[in-house]
Structure 1
Amino acid sequence: MPIIHTSDTAAIPLLILDPGELSEWLVTQDAATRAWVAANGFEAGLGETLALPGEGGGIARVLVGWGSAGARARDRFHLAAAGGRLPAGRYGVTDARVTEAEALGWLLGEYRFDRYKPAKAKPRELVCPAGCDPRRVGVIAGAAGLARDLINTPARDMGPSALEQAFLDLADTHGAEARVIRGADLDTQNFPMIRAVGLAAAEEPRLLDLRWGRDAAPKVTLVGKGVCFDTGGLNIKPGASMGLMKKDMGGAATAMGLAAMVMGLGLDIRLRLLVPAVENAISGPAMRPGDILTSRKGLTVEVNNTDAEGRLVLADALALADEEEPDLIVSLATLTGAARVALGPDVPPFFTDDEALADALARASEAVADPLWRLPFWTPYESQIEPGIADLDNAPAGGMAGAITAALFLRRFVERAGAYAHFDIYGWVPAAKPGRPKGGAFQAARAILEVLEDRY
């Protein structure tokens, strides 16, 4: 896990400069320094770095480019843009522009997935800047690392059984209660759609259930989609679409990371975490297009596409969550390609009917640099998820407004909760960016945490 220090002993100082500040600073320097900066072409562009030599061949300090306001507006985690270019070592900075969010971005950028190939590079460590809580930043970075590790691990090593073990380890770490319902017990305990989706796989489907916190505290329930691999079922995906399906449990990984932050920071809530863990495989017992399933809630669902399985497993878990009438239910899922077509990989849409919650999420998204964008639970589209032969259709024909119709499907299973929000995340960084190495992404969770801290 990346390290953040509280002592600046042996730390190399970082000097933050935008282009205008560079000109002013150079005036105060000796001729040798001015010549060194000019010879290296340092212009204080965003993410640029330049080490200034010290006595004995060491580094005296590092100049870090802060760029123009326009350049900074293009992305987030500006210190991480420079951190990724520095040699291994410990660095310190006193500039007021380096906030806790910037320190966190540095740590997030230092993440490496080294399960199968040990990382060769040594870490770039940071001394916690003024106003930064090192414990809090460490908890958040650790939770992001947990989620990224789970997403990045191939399905051979992160099937339902392995996800269950990671879930139980999380519960054990924080002293939470956990139970698991597997296989045929899903039928006897009334989780028929979770069982149906996972029935064709070699590893049994299961529902993972964690509880933590005071019984009398406000109830918050997280539900994460745990489809450990998605072939598409009998509506099999083409190879190009199947290549990243190890990340189809990204909702579960993100919910687990969010739960780790809640418990690690000691929020006063009664937390419940539900993860339906399945593999959507192909074999004799696989569900078929045209099958009709009866959900835990009693609503019948026509399966018009076996590749729209995530909403099925989420529906049973949401129905269970709703029975307790919690103050808030949050679902997280890598649910639809339509969300990516609409907003791309960086900006997950969220859906809620609660205006106060929507406003809080929008503010939190900006405050902690965790992008979100609200899409509507557009009620006029309800007819698209009503097939006539059953109560609901899991894959409406036509392909339009796919993210919205999927969210409307899920909303049918939440009636008693004080508020409900659904997040359609991508869970993946296609190309490395500051604070976000290529691979599994930890999206929406930090914004949700901000709202939970403010509310509870």
Structure 2
Amino acid sequence: MSLPDGFTTTAHDATPLYVVTRLGYVDWRTRQPAPVRAWLDAQGFDGSPGSAVTLPTPDGAIAAGLIGVEDLLDPYAYGHAPFALPACRWALATSLDDTERAALELGWGLGAYRFSRYKSPLRPASQLVVDEAASETRDILRASLRVRDMVNTPTEHMGPDQIEQLAREIAQAHGATLEVVAGDDLLTRNFPAIHAVGRASHRAPRLIGLHWGKDSDPCVAIVGKGVCFDSGGLDIKPADGMRNMKKDMGGAAHALALAELVMARKLPVRLSLLIPAVENSIGPEAFRPGEVVSTRKGIMVEIDNTDAEGRVILADALTYAGEQNPELILDFATLTGAARIALGPDLPALFCNDDALANDWLAAGERLRDPLWRMPLWRPYLRYLTSQVADMANAGSKMAGAVTAALYLERFIPEARPWAHLDVYAWSDTARPGRPPGGEALGLRSAFAMLKDRYPA
């Protein structure tokens, strides 16, 4: 398997690279010859986080490089290096433990990433020398970049059929089976809510199911919202709200990447990945405000707002997930703007009906610098989803929008089944080290670590 951008296995003529913290730099500097100290002082380098400097040879070549970081365990602390340093090969010259080295490698790969399908980068990323052997860190990096690539790709090239094709390729690579229910077959197979949301598009809505693992292993169900473009439907979004709605399949991207990671690392689970993939389009067949939509579970849902479509398709997928008799259910969804208002773009909102599951995921997030924040399943707010003509409405009051969306989803989870829902932004609005603007994986690394802890290989 080829290396991601920013890496090489060729150590010949590689330039030494030193990693320093601001405090550690003081000691490192004192051990250097006087000309090196003078050069560093002239450059104003002090080991500050996000800084980088090169040291010259007497003939003007590059003798070594230094990068400053704040937290040796934070992958993003290294994210500036691939483009802050000259584009050559770099070999780590600082002694780091295995966890710190993994953070460096992951952060380097995240920082080296540029979405290049339609536009070539202005310059190549610097290359870090790594071992040829496959590693868990590299698999985690590939999963993170999978999310970025999928979210960054416009709907023209990342519709329901393309997500299905990606799932098919991943299934074939790992010996999984794939089932797809598409178009009007959704009605005959009892997935009416997915059909209702996607029927107006020229691309058929579908439920993509990937199944992997031994029957004797515990079942884990992973569900991802796959709205490949969200116009808002007949409750149409304004232009600024619609601009980046290619990213509304970010939940599906996270779910597919996590499933691929579980299979690549061969966790001892029976995996059931479910992605309802649709476009929420406007047309003669579009579902309408005030309509009552049936669901696989038999709950009748009044459509209060066609722009609250993600929870509608997830209802069928979560019900089907529960039918697999899983030990736990995880879902990822770019579900509400309310979660972003509450927590901003970097903190996914975690809703969970099981304290042990929630605590495990939160602890993994803290340990891996991949944070999330638990929000309440405040069930009295179910009153905001009351319908006068159906069992419930898909939306309602603007109060506690992220909470009511999670409460809606919970109605489709089997009783007493551990379930966690991550309302994730899947996007970086601004350029930061290791985080170029565009698609972003959030909560993915911590989700895998949580699963790995629960199901050790």
Q: What TM-score bracket applies, with the shorter chain setting the length? A: over 0.9
**Map of 1:322 onto structure 2:** 322
Change (3 A) 1:323 1:28: closer
**Map of 1:439 onto structure 2:** 438
Report percent identity of matched pairs: 47
Any idea what SS the aligned residue of 1:60 has? strand
Q: Which of 35, 53, 66 is equivalent to 1:32?
A: 35
Map 1:205-284 onto structure 2 (within 5 A).
205-284=205-284
User: For the Cα contact (< 8 Å) 1:65–1:82, is it kept in 2?
Assistant: no
Q: CA deviation at 1:44?
A: 1.5
Any idea what SS the aligned residue of 1:186 has? helix
User: For the Cα contact (< 8 Å) 1:207–1:277, is it kept in 2?
Assistant: yes
Q: Which of 58, 63, 69 is equivalent to 1:60?
A: 63
Q: Tell me the alpha carbon deviations over residues 58-93 of structure 1, each in whole angstroms, 9 at most, x when there is no partner.
A: 3211122235x7xx99x8621223343112122222
Take 1:376 and 1:133, find their aligned partners in 2: how far apart are those partners? 43
User: For the Cα contact (< 8 Å) 1:104–1:137, is it kept in 2?
Assistant: yes
Q: CA deviation at 1:384?
A: 1.5
User: For the Cα contact (< 8 Å) 1:101–1:369, is it kept in 2?
Assistant: no
User: For the Cα contact (< 8 Å) 1:46–1:81, is it kept in 2?
Assistant: no
**Map of 1:113 onto structure 2:** 115
Q: CA deviation at 1:430?
A: 0.5
Map 1:289-438 onto structure 2 (within 5 A).
289-397=289-397, 399-416=398-415, 418-438=417-437
Higher mean C-alpha deviation, range 95-104 or range 239-248: 95-104
User: For the Cα contact (< 8 Å) 2:384–2:395, is it kept in 1?
Assistant: no
Question: Is 1:51 aligned to 2:54, yes or no?
Answer: yes
Q: Tell me the alpha carbon deviations over residues 401-422 of structure 1, each in whole angstroms, 9 at most, x when there is no partner.
A: 0000000000000115731100
Q: CA deviation at 1:49?
A: 1.0
Normalization by structure 2: what TM-score?
0.94
Take 1:433 and 1:366, find their aligned partners in 2: how far apart are those partners? 20
Amino acid at match of 1:195: H
Change (3 A) 1:415 1:395: same
Take 2:327 and 2:10, find their aligned partners in 1: how far apart are those partners? 41
Normalization by structure 1: what TM-score?
0.94
Q: Tell me the alpha carbon deviations over residues 126-180 of structure 1, each in whole angstroms, 9 at most, x when there is no partner.
A: 2349xx9851111111111111111101111111112211121121221210011
Q: CA deviation at 1:56?
A: 4.5
Map 1:183-222 onto structure 2 (within 5 A).
183-222=183-222
User: For the Cα contact (< 8 Å) 1:224–1:251, is it kept in 2?
Assistant: yes
Take 2:24 and 2:225, find their aligned partners in 1: how far apart are those partners? 48
Any idea what SS the aligned residue of 1:156 has? helix
Take 1:251 and 1:20, find their aligned partners in 2: how far apart are those partners? 40
User: For the Cα contact (< 8 Å) 2:207–2:274, is it kept in 1?
Assistant: yes
Amino acid at match of 1:272: S
Take 2:450 and 2:26, find their aligned partners in 1: how far apart are those partners? 41
User: For the Cα contact (< 8 Å) 1:322–1:417, is it kept in 2?
Assistant: no
Map 1:74-85 onto structure 2 (within 5 A).
77-85=76-84
| Structure 1: tracts of 5 or more residues without a match | none
**Map of 1:15 onto structure 2:** 18
Change (3 A) 1:267 1:6: farther
Take 2:286 and 2:447, find their aligned partners in 1: how far apart are those partners? 36
Take 1:133 and 1:100, find their aligned partners in 2: how far apart are those partners? 14
Q: Tell me the alpha carbon deviations over residues 378-409 of structure 1, each in whole angstroms, 9 at most, x when there is no partner.
A: 11112221223211111112x01000000000
Take 1:46 and 1:386, find their aligned partners in 2: how far apart are those partners? 51
| Structure 2: tracts of 5 or more residues without a match | none
Any idea what SS the aligned residue of 1:91 has? strand
Amino acid at match of 1:444: G
Take 1:246 and 1:324, find their aligned partners in 2: how far apart are those partners? 30
Q: CA deviation at 1:57?
A: 3.4
Q: Tell me the alpha carbon deviations over residues 325-361 of structure 1, each in whole angstroms, 9 at most, x when there is no partner.
A: 2001111000000000000000001111111111101
Take 2:292 and 2:23, find their aligned partners in 1: how far apart are those partners? 66
**Map of 2:87 onto structure 1:** 88
Q: Tell me the alpha carbon deviations over residues 167-198 of structure 1, each in whole angstroms, 9 at most, x when there is no partner.
A: 21121221210011111100000000100000
Amino acid at match of 2:302: E
Q: CA deviation at 1:25?
A: 3.4
Amino acid at match of 1:256: L
Take 1:193 and 1:153, find their aligned partners in 2: how far apart are those partners? 26
Any idea what SS the aligned residue of 1:331 has? strand
Q: CA deviation at 1:99?
A: 3.5
